[in-house]
Structure 1
């Protein structure tokens, strides 16, 4: 049976006296009991001795920070079920997802708004009490909340990535448009100057020694032949950068929530272009070879921006697996390689296979591969959301299938199948 409110308390963990004062005042005025710890070590010790109902945990503290404190709390069976709410000025997505991956239930941003603090505390206390009395029901609800959290992070990541790439494309466009717009008048001026020079040669066929020397030093005849070639190279360069800018805008297209008919080959190629810097040789690591075996695909009715994220997640993981295999010398002198194959199967579905010859996936990991927040990477290296989001986009958003075939030490192959005429809507 749950204890009374008076027997419960909230643990505030913060090394800043001002923050402690604000939180203490808010909780006290609302009738909550609380205790205080000024660093991670003492917070862990207090929580082990007498379990609080909830912990408000600062991220940035001397000694062990909030992330490490949370990790230790969640690793201890005595304290692992205590809800942890981070209090932090860090608002970036990576910090949030790192906290969620460690087991935190929420974030409260600084500077504090007392109403928000109390609202979030009440919500999570209510959730904890429901957990104590309605374990099975809350277990189902937790699954739903976890799914909603993945959707929220997915949308936030897509939005943030889209805004970043669109901003880069915009910044590229300004100077390139300036260069492109100035090339035609520059061509006209050079043609005019060349014509005038040729007229001078006709009217004054015997230049002075000084002019003759200058013409010889410049190699004027070669320069006049080379200038149009240089201008042509400038035009080609600006066209290539304009194409790159357009590709970036296509990858981060704002219609992620609207189905459009899209060329998935184009999405794959754009994703590879964005990842090009990771495919190139670096130091002792050789270049990662990409082999494309594209079949004939019609345009697919899909959420194009979200499918691009599917390609990004799987290809980035393949590169990670190859980097790890190279680091551990597991390639056996083979060339690091990613193979991409596409086709239409007998049922008329689009099939995309992305395979690598990296380290592979252990059998023990495969059943949990698409679980939200599950990752085998070190803290700070992965959120555990990439493949979960990928599964959700392919299976739930597009009524498709996502399968993995892998052996430890034998590489991995991810197979995406989606119907060409997708009619699933949220």
Structure 2
């Protein structure tokens, strides 16, 4: 997918550079005409007012610039997808574990941001010095994606239970918002957090720990966690 997006994107981005150059040249030519021919015809004056030329002259460069910014953002996302999937790297290869985790977090950034009724999820990293690890990096990144996405789901579920927003009306008719604290823990809202810790163990092994302060699993689900085909 990243490869298919990248080809037309490069075409668009390279042409935007030319579009910016052509825009400046055309605007310069218009200014030259205005300076040379100060007495315009009624038709030109009417058309100038109809298209609001002054606004176009100021807005068109901004429009092209915003398109370039958008194209650059797409380029960043494509590169991120390539890093995440390790395109053309289906075999065992040495990989940077921290780079894989960080790429996954960037892909999930939209879910970490604050939402109505839930503050932003804080990601706390405790990265130790890790050697590169021989692994199937794209598959490992998918594991990170599944675990982190499940952690975010658990955090959001916890906030649904412990912080349901509702409208309450006082005697004077003024509507206020009350945060209901009815979680299974009977505790106030906790700031949502994700912890990611890495360390080397026994020389040739590494440990990756991922934790959250979401709702967690019930004992029944924990007992069946490794049952074949079991899912929640």
Q: Give the TM-score normalised by the residue count of structure 2.
A: 0.69
Q: 2-side partners of 1:215 and 1:348: how far apart?
A: 73
Q: 2-side partners of 1:207 and 1:343: how far apart?
A: 75
Structure 1 residue 198 and structure 2 residue 31: aligned? yes
Q: Deviation digits for residues 111-160 of structure 1, max 9, x if unmatched?
A: xxxxxxxxxxxxxxxxxxxxxxxxxxxxxxxxxxxxxxxxxxxxxxxxxx
- The equivalent position to 1:286 in structure 2, one of 118, 130, 133, is 118
Choose 1 or 2 for highest CA Rg.
Answer: 1
- The equivalent position to 1:257 in structure 2, one of 68, 91, 95, is 91
Higher RCO (CA < 8 A, seq sep 6+)? 2
Which position in structure 2 is the counterpart of 1:373?
A: 228
Q: Is the 1:288–1:338 contact (alpha carbons within 8 Å) kept by the matching residues of 2?
A: no
SS at match of 2:39: coil
Shift of 1:372: 5.0
Distance 1:201 1:345, change over 3 A: farther
Q: 2-side partners of 1:309 and 1:260: how far apart?
A: 17
Give ranges in structure 1 of 5+ residues lacking alignment: 1-166, 378-426
State how 1:173-188 maps to structure 2 within 5 Å. 173-188=6-21
Q: 1-side partners of 2:188 and 2:231: how far apart?
A: 23
Q: Give the TM-score normalised by the residue count of structure 1.
A: 0.41
RMSD of aligned alpha carbons:
3.5
Shift of 1:316: 2.2
Distance 1:286 1:208, change over 3 A: same
Q: 2-side partners of 1:221 and 1:298: how far apart?
A: 58
Which position in structure 2 is the counterpart of 1:312?
A: 145
What is the aligned residue count? 207
Shift of 1:364: 6.2
Q: 2-side partners of 1:290 and 1:374: how far apart?
A: 32
Q: Deviation digits for residues 274-330 of structure 1, max 9, x if unmatched?
A: 334544567x65355132435464562232113212212211221232233234333
- The equivalent position to 2:210 in structure 1, one of 354, 363, 367, is 354
State how 1:154-303 maps to structure 2 within 5 Å. 167=1, 169-216=2-49, 218-253=51-86, 254-262=88-96, 264-276=97-109, 278-279=111-112, 286=118, 289-293=121-125, 295=127, 297=129, 300-303=132-135
Give ranges in structure 2 of 5+ residues lacking alignment: 163-182
Distance 1:367 1:189, change over 3 A: same
Which position in structure 2 is the counterpart of 1:392?
A: none
Distance 1:376 1:177, change over 3 A: closer
Q: Is the 2:101–2:141 contact (alpha carbons within 8 Å) kept by the matching residues of 1?
A: yes
